Amino acid sequence: HHIHYLKEVNSSNEVGKRLADQGCADGLVVVAEEQTSGKGRLSRGWFSPMGYGVWCSVILRPPFMPSEASKCTLLAAVAVIKAINKYKGVNAKIKWPNDVLLEGKKMVGILTEMSAEFGKINYIVIGTGINTNVPRSIIPDELKELAISVADVATEPIERVQILADYLKNIEDLYETVLRDGFGPVLDEWRKYSDTIGQAVKVIAPDKTYFGTAVDIDEEGLLVVRKEDGTMEKVIAGDVSIRP
């Protein structure tokens, strides 16, 4: 496997996209010690200080339709949660589609970017930021209530490099499972770790906002919501918050 290890990047996703545009192989990994302009979802940033997290991007060239791209995000969420929940005291949950939370704070963020052409996926970049051991003291004030590290809750020593190695191994295993047996097994695992299914939710979609209950996730990774009027709606994109 190809792993590009870099000391400093603007964003590992940006480096990944460039390498993918240049034709790099399926499975290439970009890892950085520090990101100077880490990217989050919805045009937010991602705090990525030197040596305190896993900031990495995996390039996949899956034989899926572009509409199935979100499968890769769910797959990555399962892969990462298995790597961090291995530690005693860590019991993170997945919030659809791709947040990994503990005590309502973000431990892991995933930003998936796709390039598709003629109805086929050219590549997918799965960017993952794992807050492994970010010292509370260096977290910017506005993020203090939003972010949490694996080391903040683990009751045994954690190892950043081990988390990266386990994450990559899990991605590989799950990806092979999907190619061999389809997406069912990964969905089952995702449901096991989900904190969203069964919850009252508020959905902020690109075109409307509504309330309902998250009832399931479909084969394509879309969230199925029963709206307050009883009709079903599938969420493709947007922000879903769990209502208190």
Instruction: Judge whether 232 and 225 are in contact, CB under 8 Å.
Output: yes
Q: Which residues of 95-114 are buried (b: 16+ CB within 10 A; e: fewer)?
A: bbbbbbbbeebbbbbbbbbb
CB of 82 to ligand BTN, least distance (A): 18
166 to 205: interface string for ligand BTN, x by CB under 6 A? ----------------------------------------
Judged by beta carbon, residue 6 or residue 215, the one nearer ligand BTN is 6
Nearest CA to 16 among 76, 61, 50? 61
Judged by beta carbon, residue 127 or residue 221, the one nearer ligand BTN is 127
Any contact of residue 212 with ligand BTN (CB under 6 A)?
no
CB of 119 to ligand BTN, least distance (A): 27
Of 40-48, 182-190, 221-229, 234-242, the segment contacting ligand BTN by CB under 6 A is: 40-48
The correct pick among 35, 132, 194, 196 for binding ligand BTN (CB under 6 A) is 35
The correct pick among 13, 112, 131, 170 for binding ligand BTN (CB under 6 A) is 13
Nearest CA to 5 among 60, 55, 52? 55
- The dihedral over CA atoms of 102, 153, 150, 243, expressed in degrees to the nearest 10, equals 10
- In angstroms, the CA 151 to CA 13 distance is 25
The correct pick among 70, 73, 112, 128 for binding ligand BTN (CB under 6 A) is 128
Element spanning 161, H or E: helix 160-181
Interface ranges with ligand BTN (CB under 6 A): 11-13, 35, 38-41, 44, 46, 48, 55-57, 99, 109-111, 127-129
